[in-house]
Structure 1
Protein backbone atom coordinates (compact mmCIF):
# COMPACT_ATOMS: atom_id res chain seq x y z
CA UNK A 1 0.00 0.00 0.00
CA UNK A 2 1.40 3.40 -0.99
CA UNK A 3 2.10 6.00 1.66
CA UNK A 4 0.92 9.55 1.08
CA UNK A 5 -1.31 12.25 2.47
CA UNK A 6 -1.71 13.97 5.81
CA UNK A 7 -2.57 10.71 7.58
CA UNK A 8 1.09 9.71 7.28
CA UNK A 9 2.17 12.24 9.88
CA UNK A 10 -0.56 11.12 12.27
CA UNK A 11 0.54 7.50 11.90
CA UNK A 12 4.13 8.48 12.65
CA UNK A 13 3.06 10.58 15.62
CA UNK A 14 1.28 7.60 17.14
CA UNK A 15 4.44 5.49 16.83
CA UNK A 16 7.16 7.93 17.90
CA UNK A 17 8.07 9.05 21.42
CA UNK A 18 6.88 12.64 21.97
CA UNK A 19 10.42 14.05 21.96
CA UNK A 20 11.27 12.40 18.66
CA UNK A 21 8.01 13.51 17.07
CA UNK A 22 8.49 17.11 18.22
CA UNK A 23 12.03 17.22 16.80
CA UNK A 24 10.70 16.12 13.42
CA UNK A 25 7.59 18.30 13.39
CA UNK A 26 8.64 21.53 15.09
CA UNK A 27 9.23 24.83 13.38
CA UNK A 28 11.06 27.85 14.77
CA UNK A 29 9.47 30.29 17.20
CA UNK A 30 5.67 30.27 16.99
CA UNK A 31 5.85 28.06 13.86
CA UNK A 32 3.84 30.58 11.83
CA UNK A 33 5.77 30.23 8.59
CA UNK A 34 5.70 26.43 8.77
CA UNK A 35 1.91 26.40 8.86
CA UNK A 36 1.52 29.24 6.35
CA UNK A 37 3.75 27.53 3.80
CA UNK A 38 1.32 24.67 3.23
CA UNK A 39 -1.58 27.09 2.74
CA UNK A 40 0.49 29.17 0.32
CA UNK A 41 1.22 26.16 -1.89
CA UNK A 42 -2.41 25.10 -1.84
CA UNK A 43 -3.44 28.50 -3.18
CA UNK A 44 -1.89 27.78 -6.59
CA UNK A 45 -4.00 26.43 -9.45
CA UNK A 46 -3.05 24.91 -12.80
CA UNK A 47 -3.97 26.20 -16.24
CA UNK A 48 -3.78 22.99 -18.28
CA UNK A 49 -2.92 22.76 -21.93
CA UNK A 50 -5.49 20.80 -23.90
CA UNK A 51 -5.49 18.67 -27.06
CA UNK A 52 -1.95 17.45 -26.41
CA UNK A 53 -0.68 13.91 -26.80
CA UNK A 54 0.15 12.75 -23.27
CA UNK A 55 0.02 9.03 -24.02
CA UNK A 56 3.65 8.91 -22.91
CA UNK A 57 4.75 10.95 -19.88
CA UNK A 58 8.28 10.78 -18.48
CA UNK A 59 8.96 12.41 -15.10
CA UNK A 60 12.71 11.71 -15.27
CA UNK A 61 15.39 14.43 -15.23
CA UNK A 62 19.12 14.89 -15.62
CA UNK A 63 20.67 16.58 -12.59
CA UNK A 64 24.39 17.14 -12.01
CA UNK A 65 25.25 14.35 -14.40
CA UNK A 66 22.83 11.85 -12.86
CA UNK A 67 19.73 10.40 -14.52
CA UNK A 68 16.89 10.37 -11.98
CA UNK A 69 13.44 8.89 -12.50
CA UNK A 70 11.80 11.83 -10.73
CA UNK A 71 12.69 15.37 -9.62
CA UNK A 72 11.32 14.54 -6.16
CA UNK A 73 14.19 13.71 -3.82
CA UNK A 74 14.73 12.97 -0.16
CA UNK A 75 16.08 16.05 1.61
CA UNK A 76 19.19 15.83 3.81
CA UNK A 77 17.66 16.04 7.29
CA UNK A 78 19.32 15.28 10.60
CA UNK A 79 19.25 12.36 13.01
CA UNK A 80 17.10 9.77 11.22
CA UNK A 81 17.83 7.35 14.07
CA UNK A 82 15.18 9.26 16.04
CA UNK A 83 12.59 8.14 13.48
CA UNK A 84 13.66 4.51 13.01
CA UNK A 85 16.23 2.14 14.60
CA UNK A 86 18.05 1.71 11.28
CA UNK A 87 18.15 5.46 10.74
CA UNK A 88 19.96 6.87 7.73
CA UNK A 89 20.88 3.43 6.40
CA UNK A 90 17.19 2.49 6.03
CA UNK A 91 16.49 5.85 4.39
CA UNK A 92 19.37 5.41 1.95
CA UNK A 93 18.19 1.91 1.09
CA UNK A 94 14.61 3.06 0.54
CA UNK A 95 15.78 5.93 -1.65
CA UNK A 96 17.90 3.50 -3.69
CA UNK A 97 14.98 1.09 -4.01
CA UNK A 98 12.96 3.96 -5.50
CA UNK A 99 15.64 4.59 -8.13
CA UNK A 100 17.02 7.71 -6.48
CA UNK A 101 20.30 8.85 -4.94
CA UNK A 102 20.42 9.81 -1.28
CA UNK A 103 21.57 13.26 -0.18
CA UNK A 104 23.26 12.49 3.13
CA UNK A 105 23.01 15.05 5.92
CA UNK A 106 26.17 16.21 7.64
CA UNK A 107 24.21 15.44 10.82
CA UNK A 108 23.53 11.84 9.88
CA UNK A 109 23.53 9.23 12.62
CA UNK A 110 25.40 6.57 10.65
CA UNK A 111 28.84 6.61 9.00
CA UNK A 112 28.83 8.25 5.58
CA UNK A 113 30.85 5.43 4.08
CA UNK A 114 27.96 3.01 4.61
CA UNK A 115 25.31 4.97 2.75
CA UNK A 116 25.79 3.67 -0.82
CA UNK A 117 25.60 6.05 -3.84
CA UNK A 118 25.00 9.50 -2.42
CA UNK A 119 25.48 13.26 -2.45
CA UNK A 120 26.53 15.13 0.69
CA UNK A 121 24.95 18.16 2.36
CA UNK A 122 27.52 20.51 3.84
CA UNK A 123 27.60 23.62 6.00
CA UNK A 124 30.40 26.15 5.56
CA UNK A 125 31.60 26.55 9.14
CA UNK A 126 33.53 29.44 10.66
CA UNK A 127 36.53 27.15 10.86
CA UNK A 128 37.10 26.55 7.16
CA UNK A 129 39.65 23.83 7.92
CA UNK A 130 36.94 21.69 9.50
CA UNK A 131 34.77 22.15 6.43
CA UNK A 132 37.68 21.31 4.13
CA UNK A 133 38.51 18.12 6.02
CA UNK A 134 34.88 17.04 6.01
CA UNK A 135 34.58 17.61 2.27
CA UNK A 136 37.80 15.71 1.60
CA UNK A 137 36.55 12.79 3.66
CA UNK A 138 33.19 12.47 1.93
CA UNK A 139 34.65 12.90 -1.54
CA UNK A 140 37.13 10.13 -0.78
CA UNK A 141 34.25 8.01 0.51
CA UNK A 142 32.37 8.34 -2.79
CA UNK A 143 30.14 11.41 -2.60
CA UNK A 144 29.14 12.37 -6.15
CA UNK A 145 28.15 15.98 -5.42
CA UNK A 146 28.03 18.51 -2.59
CA UNK A 147 24.76 20.19 -1.58
CA UNK A 148 25.43 23.49 0.16
CA UNK A 149 23.09 24.77 2.87
CA UNK A 150 22.92 28.57 2.64
CA UNK A 151 19.92 29.48 4.84
CA UNK A 152 21.28 28.59 8.27
CA UNK A 153 23.58 31.40 9.44
CA UNK A 154 22.03 30.96 12.88
CA UNK A 155 20.15 28.12 14.54
CA UNK A 156 16.76 29.49 15.54
CA UNK A 157 15.05 28.44 18.76
CA UNK A 158 12.41 25.70 18.59
CA UNK A 159 10.50 25.82 21.87
CA UNK A 160 8.94 22.39 21.32
CA UNK A 161 12.30 20.65 21.00
CA UNK A 162 13.75 19.47 24.29
CA UNK A 163 17.43 18.90 25.03
CA UNK A 164 19.27 16.64 25.05
CA UNK A 165 17.87 15.12 21.87
CA UNK A 166 16.41 11.61 22.30
CA UNK A 167 19.08 9.91 20.18
CA UNK A 168 19.63 6.16 20.57
CA UNK A 169 22.83 5.32 22.42
CA UNK A 170 24.23 3.46 19.43
CA UNK A 171 23.71 6.40 17.06
CA UNK A 172 26.89 7.92 15.68
CA UNK A 173 26.64 11.65 16.33
CA UNK A 174 28.55 13.78 13.79
CA UNK A 175 31.89 15.28 14.70
CA UNK A 176 30.75 18.61 13.30
CA UNK A 177 28.15 20.16 13.45
CA UNK A 178 3.78 17.12 3.58
CA UNK A 179 1.38 16.20 0.60
CA UNK A 180 3.74 18.06 -1.76
CA UNK A 181 2.63 19.96 -4.88
CA UNK A 182 5.70 19.03 -6.91
CA UNK A 183 4.39 20.32 -10.24
CA UNK A 184 3.88 23.74 -8.58
CA UNK A 185 7.54 23.90 -7.55
CA UNK A 186 8.70 23.00 -11.04
CA UNK A 187 6.42 25.56 -12.64
CA UNK A 188 8.01 28.20 -10.41
CA UNK A 189 11.44 27.31 -11.78
CA UNK A 190 12.86 24.53 -9.60
CA UNK A 191 14.83 21.74 -11.30
CA UNK A 192 14.14 19.35 -8.43
CA UNK A 193 12.31 19.26 -5.11
CA UNK A 194 13.66 18.01 -1.78
CA UNK A 195 11.16 16.42 0.60
CA UNK A 196 11.97 16.53 4.30
CA UNK A 197 9.34 15.73 6.92
CA UNK A 198 7.26 13.27 4.84
CA UNK A 199 10.36 11.11 4.33
CA UNK A 200 10.87 10.98 8.09
CA UNK A 201 7.22 10.10 8.69
CA UNK A 202 7.41 7.28 6.14
CA UNK A 203 10.64 6.04 7.73
CA UNK A 204 9.00 6.00 11.17
CA UNK A 205 5.93 4.13 9.95
CA UNK A 206 7.45 1.49 7.67
CA UNK A 207 11.22 1.93 7.58
CA UNK A 208 13.01 1.28 4.29
CA UNK A 209 9.82 0.11 2.59
CA UNK A 210 7.99 3.23 3.69
CA UNK A 211 10.58 5.54 2.17
CA UNK A 212 10.39 3.70 -1.14
CA UNK A 213 6.60 3.66 -1.10
CA UNK A 214 6.41 7.40 -0.47
CA UNK A 215 8.85 8.28 -3.25
CA UNK A 216 7.07 5.91 -5.62
CA UNK A 217 3.75 7.58 -4.81
CA UNK A 218 5.21 11.04 -5.47
CA UNK A 219 6.53 9.88 -8.84
CA UNK A 220 3.15 8.39 -9.78
CA UNK A 221 1.24 11.49 -8.64
CA UNK A 222 3.61 13.78 -10.51
CA UNK A 223 3.24 11.80 -13.75
CA UNK A 224 -0.54 11.96 -13.39
CA UNK A 225 -0.49 15.70 -12.74
CA UNK A 226 1.81 16.23 -15.73
CA UNK A 227 -0.58 14.34 -18.01
CA UNK A 228 -3.57 16.31 -16.75
CA UNK A 229 -1.88 19.66 -17.41
CA UNK A 230 -0.52 18.58 -20.81
CA UNK A 231 3.18 18.27 -19.92
CA UNK A 232 5.03 15.25 -21.25
CA UNK A 233 8.26 15.93 -19.38
CA UNK A 234 9.42 18.20 -16.53
CA UNK A 235 10.98 20.49 -19.16
CA UNK A 236 7.45 21.34 -20.35
CA UNK A 237 6.33 22.54 -16.92
CA UNK A 238 6.56 26.33 -16.80
CA UNK A 239 5.01 29.53 -15.49
CA UNK A 240 2.31 29.43 -18.15
CA UNK A 241 0.77 26.41 -16.39
CA UNK A 242 0.47 28.04 -12.99
CA UNK A 243 -1.98 30.54 -11.49
CA UNK A 244 -1.64 31.85 -7.92
CA UNK A 245 -5.24 31.19 -6.93
CA UNK A 246 -6.74 34.10 -8.88
CA UNK A 247 -7.00 32.44 -12.27
CA UNK A 248 -4.23 34.52 -13.87
CA UNK A 249 -0.86 33.08 -14.97
CA UNK A 250 1.92 33.30 -12.40
CA UNK A 251 4.05 35.34 -14.77
Structure 2
Protein backbone atom coordinates (compact mmCIF):
# COMPACT_ATOMS: atom_id res chain seq x y z
CA UNK A 1 0.00 0.00 0.00
CA UNK A 2 1.03 3.60 -0.62
CA UNK A 3 0.91 4.47 3.09
CA UNK A 4 3.35 1.66 3.85
CA UNK A 5 5.66 2.82 1.06
CA UNK A 6 5.66 6.38 2.40
CA UNK A 7 6.37 5.16 5.92
CA UNK A 8 9.21 2.91 4.75
CA UNK A 9 10.82 5.72 2.76
CA UNK A 10 10.72 8.10 5.71
CA UNK A 11 11.96 5.51 8.20
CA UNK A 12 14.85 4.57 5.93
CA UNK A 13 15.69 8.22 5.31
CA UNK A 14 15.70 8.94 9.03
CA UNK A 15 18.10 6.05 9.62
CA UNK A 16 20.46 7.17 6.86
CA UNK A 17 20.50 10.93 7.37
CA UNK A 18 22.24 12.77 10.18
CA UNK A 19 19.89 14.43 12.64
CA UNK A 20 20.49 17.95 11.30
CA UNK A 21 19.63 16.94 7.73
CA UNK A 22 16.55 14.99 8.77
CA UNK A 23 15.31 17.89 10.88
CA UNK A 24 15.89 20.31 8.00
CA UNK A 25 13.61 18.30 5.70
CA UNK A 26 11.00 17.35 8.28
CA UNK A 27 10.88 20.56 10.26
CA UNK A 28 8.61 23.56 10.11
CA UNK A 29 8.29 27.04 11.51
CA UNK A 30 7.84 27.87 15.20
CA UNK A 31 5.68 25.22 16.90
CA UNK A 32 5.16 23.24 13.66
CA UNK A 33 1.38 23.45 14.00
CA UNK A 34 0.94 23.97 10.25
CA UNK A 35 3.16 20.96 9.53
CA UNK A 36 0.97 18.72 11.67
CA UNK A 37 -2.29 20.05 10.25
CA UNK A 38 -1.43 19.71 6.55
CA UNK A 39 -2.29 16.06 5.96
CA UNK A 40 -5.04 15.99 8.58
CA UNK A 41 -6.92 18.74 6.75
CA UNK A 42 -7.33 16.56 3.64
CA UNK A 43 -8.47 13.61 5.76
CA UNK A 44 -11.34 15.61 7.24
CA UNK A 45 -12.97 16.02 3.81
CA UNK A 46 -15.54 13.44 2.73
CA UNK A 47 -16.60 12.22 -0.72
CA UNK A 48 -19.86 11.36 -2.49
CA UNK A 49 -18.86 8.77 -5.12
CA UNK A 50 -20.87 8.00 -8.23
CA UNK A 51 -22.03 4.44 -9.00
CA UNK A 52 -22.78 2.38 -12.10
CA UNK A 53 -20.12 4.06 -14.24
CA UNK A 54 -17.95 1.99 -16.55
CA UNK A 55 -14.46 2.38 -15.09
CA UNK A 56 -12.80 -0.44 -17.00
CA UNK A 57 -10.32 2.15 -18.25
CA UNK A 58 -9.35 5.12 -16.08
CA UNK A 59 -7.21 7.89 -17.57
CA UNK A 60 -5.21 9.99 -15.08
CA UNK A 61 -3.51 12.14 -17.72
CA UNK A 62 -4.08 15.88 -17.93
CA UNK A 63 -2.46 19.13 -19.02
CA UNK A 64 -0.58 21.41 -16.63
CA UNK A 65 1.11 24.63 -17.77
CA UNK A 66 0.53 23.52 -21.34
CA UNK A 67 2.34 20.23 -20.72
CA UNK A 68 0.65 16.85 -21.06
CA UNK A 69 1.43 14.71 -18.01
CA UNK A 70 0.51 11.14 -17.12
CA UNK A 71 -0.94 12.23 -13.79
CA UNK A 72 -1.68 15.57 -12.08
CA UNK A 73 1.21 15.13 -9.65
CA UNK A 74 4.24 17.43 -9.84
CA UNK A 75 7.48 17.32 -7.89
CA UNK A 76 7.49 20.43 -5.72
CA UNK A 77 10.51 22.73 -5.69
CA UNK A 78 12.49 21.81 -2.57
CA UNK A 79 16.01 22.90 -1.78
CA UNK A 80 19.32 21.14 -1.32
CA UNK A 81 18.68 17.59 -2.50
CA UNK A 82 22.35 16.78 -1.87
CA UNK A 83 21.51 16.26 1.80
CA UNK A 84 19.35 13.31 0.73
CA UNK A 85 21.54 11.86 -2.05
CA UNK A 86 25.10 12.59 -3.26
CA UNK A 87 23.86 13.37 -6.80
CA UNK A 88 21.21 15.72 -5.47
CA UNK A 89 18.69 17.07 -7.95
CA UNK A 90 20.27 15.12 -10.81
CA UNK A 91 19.25 11.88 -9.08
CA UNK A 92 15.78 13.26 -8.41
CA UNK A 93 15.49 14.20 -12.08
CA UNK A 94 16.40 10.66 -13.11
CA UNK A 95 13.55 9.30 -11.04
CA UNK A 96 11.10 11.90 -12.36
CA UNK A 97 12.12 11.10 -15.94
CA UNK A 98 11.66 7.36 -15.38
CA UNK A 99 8.15 7.99 -14.04
CA UNK A 100 7.26 10.38 -16.85
CA UNK A 101 6.68 13.11 -14.28
CA UNK A 102 6.98 16.88 -14.19
CA UNK A 103 9.54 18.55 -11.93
CA UNK A 104 9.70 22.12 -10.67
CA UNK A 105 13.44 22.69 -10.35
CA UNK A 106 14.37 24.88 -7.38
CA UNK A 107 16.54 27.98 -7.31
CA UNK A 108 18.39 26.42 -4.38
CA UNK A 109 19.43 23.36 -6.31
CA UNK A 110 22.78 21.91 -5.27
CA UNK A 111 23.27 20.58 -8.80
CA UNK A 112 24.03 22.72 -11.82
CA UNK A 113 20.91 23.45 -13.85
CA UNK A 114 22.42 22.06 -17.06
CA UNK A 115 22.95 18.68 -15.42
CA UNK A 116 19.44 18.56 -13.96
CA UNK A 117 17.85 19.43 -17.30
CA UNK A 118 19.95 16.81 -19.09
CA UNK A 119 18.84 14.16 -16.59
CA UNK A 120 15.19 15.12 -17.01
CA UNK A 121 15.11 15.06 -20.80
CA UNK A 122 11.51 16.27 -20.66
CA UNK A 123 9.55 19.47 -19.94
CA UNK A 124 10.18 21.18 -16.61
CA UNK A 125 9.32 24.32 -14.66
CA UNK A 126 11.67 26.58 -12.71
CA UNK A 127 11.03 27.98 -9.23
CA UNK A 128 12.29 31.48 -8.50
CA UNK A 129 13.37 33.14 -5.30
CA UNK A 130 13.93 36.81 -6.06
CA UNK A 131 17.22 37.88 -4.53
CA UNK A 132 18.32 41.28 -3.25
CA UNK A 133 20.79 41.34 -6.12
CA UNK A 134 18.28 41.42 -8.97
CA UNK A 135 21.06 40.93 -11.52
CA UNK A 136 21.71 37.44 -10.13
CA UNK A 137 18.00 36.62 -10.31
CA UNK A 138 17.82 37.97 -13.86
CA UNK A 139 20.79 35.85 -14.94
CA UNK A 140 19.29 32.76 -13.32
CA UNK A 141 15.88 33.27 -14.94
CA UNK A 142 17.34 34.02 -18.36
CA UNK A 143 19.47 30.90 -18.12
CA UNK A 144 16.44 28.79 -17.19
CA UNK A 145 14.57 30.18 -20.18
CA UNK A 146 17.48 29.38 -22.51
CA UNK A 147 17.63 25.82 -21.17
CA UNK A 148 13.97 25.27 -21.95
CA UNK A 149 11.94 25.93 -18.80
CA UNK A 150 8.26 26.00 -19.74
CA UNK A 151 7.14 28.31 -16.93
CA UNK A 152 8.40 30.08 -13.82
CA UNK A 153 7.05 29.49 -10.33
CA UNK A 154 7.62 32.56 -8.16
CA UNK A 155 7.71 31.82 -4.44
CA UNK A 156 5.68 34.61 -2.91
CA UNK A 157 5.45 33.55 0.74
CA UNK A 158 9.09 33.78 1.75
CA UNK A 159 10.22 37.43 1.72
CA UNK A 160 12.28 36.40 4.73
CA UNK A 161 13.08 32.95 6.10
CA UNK A 162 11.40 31.90 9.31
CA UNK A 163 13.24 30.43 12.22
CA UNK A 164 12.66 26.70 12.42
CA UNK A 165 11.71 24.81 15.55
CA UNK A 166 14.96 22.87 15.60
CA UNK A 167 16.96 26.00 14.77
CA UNK A 168 18.02 24.70 11.36
CA UNK A 169 17.42 27.27 8.64
CA UNK A 170 20.02 25.71 6.37
CA UNK A 171 21.31 22.12 6.19
CA UNK A 172 24.95 21.08 6.71
CA UNK A 173 26.53 21.54 3.27
CA UNK A 174 29.71 22.99 1.84
CA UNK A 175 29.67 26.47 0.33
CA UNK A 176 30.05 24.98 -3.15
CA UNK A 177 26.98 22.81 -2.57
CA UNK A 178 24.96 25.76 -1.30
CA UNK A 179 25.78 27.74 -4.43
CA UNK A 180 25.63 24.82 -6.87
CA UNK A 181 22.94 26.25 -9.11
CA UNK A 182 24.30 29.80 -8.90
CA UNK A 183 28.01 29.08 -9.18
CA UNK A 184 28.22 29.54 -13.00
CA UNK A 185 26.58 32.98 -12.66
CA UNK A 186 28.73 34.41 -9.87
CA UNK A 187 31.99 36.28 -10.09
CA UNK A 188 34.94 34.54 -8.39
CA UNK A 189 34.94 35.20 -4.67
CA UNK A 190 31.25 36.15 -4.50
CA UNK A 191 29.65 35.01 -1.25
CA UNK A 192 25.92 34.58 -0.68
CA UNK A 193 24.13 33.81 2.56
CA UNK A 194 20.85 32.11 1.69
CA UNK A 195 19.22 33.11 4.95
CA UNK A 196 19.53 36.83 4.09
CA UNK A 197 19.79 36.81 0.28
CA UNK A 198 16.08 36.95 -0.52
CA UNK A 199 14.48 40.25 -1.47
CA UNK A 200 11.81 41.30 1.05
CA UNK A 201 10.55 44.04 -1.28
CA UNK A 202 8.89 41.82 -3.90
CA UNK A 203 5.35 42.83 -4.87
CA UNK A 204 2.73 41.90 -7.46
CA UNK A 205 4.77 43.99 -9.92
CA UNK A 206 7.48 41.33 -9.70
CA UNK A 207 5.24 39.04 -11.75
CA UNK A 208 5.37 41.37 -14.74
CA UNK A 209 9.11 41.80 -14.37
CA UNK A 210 9.66 38.05 -14.53
CA UNK A 211 7.32 37.66 -17.51
CA UNK A 212 9.11 40.39 -19.44
CA UNK A 213 12.51 39.05 -18.50
CA UNK A 214 11.84 35.45 -19.49
CA UNK A 215 8.95 35.46 -21.94
CA UNK A 216 7.49 32.60 -19.88
CA UNK A 217 4.21 32.15 -17.99
CA UNK A 218 4.55 32.87 -14.27
CA UNK A 219 2.80 31.01 -11.47
CA UNK A 220 2.85 32.36 -7.91
CA UNK A 221 3.39 29.84 -5.12
CA UNK A 222 2.36 30.37 -1.53
CA UNK A 223 -1.11 31.85 -2.08
CA UNK A 224 -3.70 31.19 0.64
CA UNK A 225 -6.15 34.07 0.08
CA UNK A 226 -8.66 34.62 -2.68
CA UNK A 227 -7.89 38.33 -2.96
CA UNK A 228 -4.18 37.59 -3.36
CA UNK A 229 -4.94 35.01 -6.05
CA UNK A 230 -7.07 37.50 -7.97
CA UNK A 231 -4.36 40.15 -7.66
CA UNK A 232 -1.76 37.72 -9.02
CA UNK A 233 -3.87 37.07 -12.10
CA UNK A 234 -4.56 40.79 -12.53
CA UNK A 235 -0.78 41.30 -12.51
CA UNK A 236 -0.34 38.77 -15.32
CA UNK A 237 0.18 35.44 -13.56
CA UNK A 238 -0.88 32.31 -15.41
CA UNK A 239 -1.91 30.65 -12.19
CA UNK A 240 -1.24 30.19 -8.50
CA UNK A 241 -0.10 27.43 -6.17
CA UNK A 242 -2.12 27.20 -2.98
CA UNK A 243 0.52 26.44 -0.36
CA UNK A 244 1.73 27.36 3.11
CA UNK A 245 5.30 26.40 2.22
CA UNK A 246 5.01 23.03 3.89
CA UNK A 247 4.50 24.77 7.22
CA UNK A 248 8.07 26.05 6.99
CA UNK A 249 7.30 29.78 6.93
CA UNK A 250 4.45 31.35 8.95
CA UNK A 251 3.32 28.79 11.49
CA UNK A 252 -0.45 28.54 12.00
CA UNK A 253 -1.00 29.59 8.39
CA UNK A 254 -4.17 27.90 7.19
CA UNK A 255 -3.79 24.45 5.62
CA UNK A 256 -3.85 24.30 1.82
CA UNK A 257 -6.91 22.03 1.90
CA UNK A 258 -8.81 24.72 3.81
CA UNK A 259 -7.63 27.60 1.61
CA UNK A 260 -8.18 25.88 -1.74
CA UNK A 261 -11.95 26.46 -2.23
CA UNK A 262 -11.69 30.20 -1.63
CA UNK A 263 -8.78 30.57 -4.01
CA UNK A 264 -10.53 28.54 -6.72
CA UNK A 265 -13.63 30.72 -6.37
CA UNK A 266 -11.59 33.92 -6.61
CA UNK A 267 -9.67 32.73 -9.66
CA UNK A 268 -12.93 31.86 -11.37
CA UNK A 269 -11.31 29.96 -14.23
CA UNK A 270 -9.01 32.82 -15.25
CA UNK A 271 -5.90 30.76 -14.51
CA UNK A 272 -4.69 27.42 -13.24
CA UNK A 273 -4.80 26.58 -9.55
CA UNK A 274 -2.29 24.06 -8.21
CA UNK A 275 -2.00 22.99 -4.59
CA UNK A 276 0.55 21.47 -2.25
CA UNK A 277 0.85 20.56 1.40
CA UNK A 278 0.02 17.26 3.04
CA UNK A 279 -0.81 15.30 -0.13
CA UNK A 280 -0.17 11.67 0.79
CA UNK A 281 -2.62 9.54 -1.20
CA UNK A 282 -4.65 9.16 -4.34
CA UNK A 283 -7.74 10.13 -2.36
CA UNK A 284 -6.03 13.38 -1.31
CA UNK A 285 -5.29 14.07 -4.97
CA UNK A 286 -8.86 13.22 -5.98
CA UNK A 287 -10.23 15.63 -3.37
CA UNK A 288 -7.88 18.42 -4.48
CA UNK A 289 -8.94 17.99 -8.10
CA UNK A 290 -12.61 17.83 -7.16
CA UNK A 291 -12.20 21.09 -5.26
CA UNK A 292 -10.85 22.79 -8.36
CA UNK A 293 -7.10 22.22 -8.44
CA UNK A 294 -5.49 21.43 -11.78
CA UNK A 295 -2.74 19.39 -10.13
CA UNK A 296 -0.96 18.78 -6.84
CA UNK A 297 2.67 19.10 -5.79
CA UNK A 298 4.53 16.74 -3.46
CA UNK A 299 7.66 17.73 -1.56
CA UNK A 300 8.76 15.88 1.58
CA UNK A 301 7.72 12.43 0.26
CA UNK A 302 10.08 12.97 -2.67
CA UNK A 303 12.92 13.86 -0.31
CA UNK A 304 12.33 10.72 1.76
CA UNK A 305 12.15 8.56 -1.37
CA UNK A 306 15.38 10.11 -2.67
CA UNK A 307 17.20 9.47 0.60
CA UNK A 308 15.79 5.95 0.83
CA UNK A 309 16.26 4.59 -2.68
CA UNK A 310 17.59 7.33 -4.95
CA UNK A 311 16.06 7.68 -8.41
CA UNK A 312 14.34 4.31 -8.06
CA UNK A 313 12.62 5.52 -4.92
CA UNK A 314 11.43 8.71 -6.60
CA UNK A 315 10.07 6.75 -9.56
CA UNK A 316 8.40 4.26 -7.23
CA UNK A 317 6.73 7.07 -5.29
CA UNK A 318 5.40 8.87 -8.36
CA UNK A 319 4.17 5.63 -9.93
CA UNK A 320 2.46 4.68 -6.67
CA UNK A 321 0.72 8.05 -6.37
CA UNK A 322 -0.54 7.77 -9.96
CA UNK A 323 -1.80 4.23 -9.38
CA UNK A 324 -3.45 5.23 -6.11
CA UNK A 325 -5.19 8.10 -7.88
CA UNK A 326 -6.38 5.75 -10.62
CA UNK A 327 -7.94 3.47 -7.99
CA UNK A 328 -9.56 6.38 -6.17
CA UNK A 329 -11.02 7.69 -9.43
CA UNK A 330 -12.45 4.28 -10.30
CA UNK A 331 -14.05 3.93 -6.87
CA UNK A 332 -15.52 7.43 -7.23
CA UNK A 333 -16.95 6.68 -10.67
CA UNK A 334 -14.57 8.95 -12.59
CA UNK A 335 -13.08 7.64 -15.83
CA UNK A 336 -11.03 10.74 -16.62
CA UNK A 337 -9.80 13.86 -14.87
CA UNK A 338 -12.65 15.79 -16.51
CA UNK A 339 -15.09 13.63 -14.52
CA UNK A 340 -13.60 14.78 -11.22
CA UNK A 341 -15.70 17.76 -10.15
CA UNK A 342 -17.08 19.52 -7.09
CA UNK A 343 -20.09 17.20 -6.93
CA UNK A 344 -17.79 14.46 -5.58
CA UNK A 345 -17.07 16.44 -2.41
CA UNK A 346 -19.63 16.22 0.39
CA UNK A 347 -20.59 19.62 1.78
CA UNK A 348 -21.05 20.11 5.49
- What TM-score does the superposition give when structure 2 sets the normalisation length? 0.66
Structure 1: unaligned runs, 5 residues or longer? 244-248
**In the alignment, what sits opposite 1:194?**
297
**In the alignment, what sits opposite 1:134?**
140
Matched, 1:90 2:78: no
Is 1:92–1:115's contact at 8 Å kept on the other side of the alignment? yes
Is 2:14–2:22's contact at 8 Å kept on the other side of the alignment? yes
The aligned length equals: 245
Which stretch shows the higher mean deviation, 215-224 or 170-179? 170-179
Matched, 1:209 2:322: no
Structure 2: unaligned runs, 5 residues or longer? 183-191, 195-277
**In the alignment, what sits opposite 1:122?**
128
**Offset of residue 126 of structure 1:** 4.3
Matched, 1:237 2:340: yes
**In the alignment, what sits opposite 1:106?**
107
**Offset of residue 4 of structure 1:** 2.7
Give structure 1 regions of 4+ aligned residues with deviation exceeding 4 angstroms: none
In terms of fraction of residues, the more helix-rich structure is 2
**Offset of residue 128 of structure 1:** 3.6
Change (3 A) 1:170 1:156: closer
Which stretch shows the higher mean deviation, 35-44 or 173-182? 173-182
Is 2:24–2:169's contact at 8 Å kept on the other side of the alignment? no
Structure-1 separation of matches of 2:292 and 2:78: 23
Show the 5 A alignment for 1:151-230. Answer: 151-162=157-168, 165-167=171-173, 171=177, 173=179, 174-175=181-182, 177=194, 179-180=280-281, 181-230=284-333
**In the alignment, what sits opposite 1:65?**
66
Is 2:62–2:69's contact at 8 Å kept on the other side of the alignment? yes
Q: Secondary structure at the match of 1:217?
A: helix
**In the alignment, what sits opposite 1:246?**
none
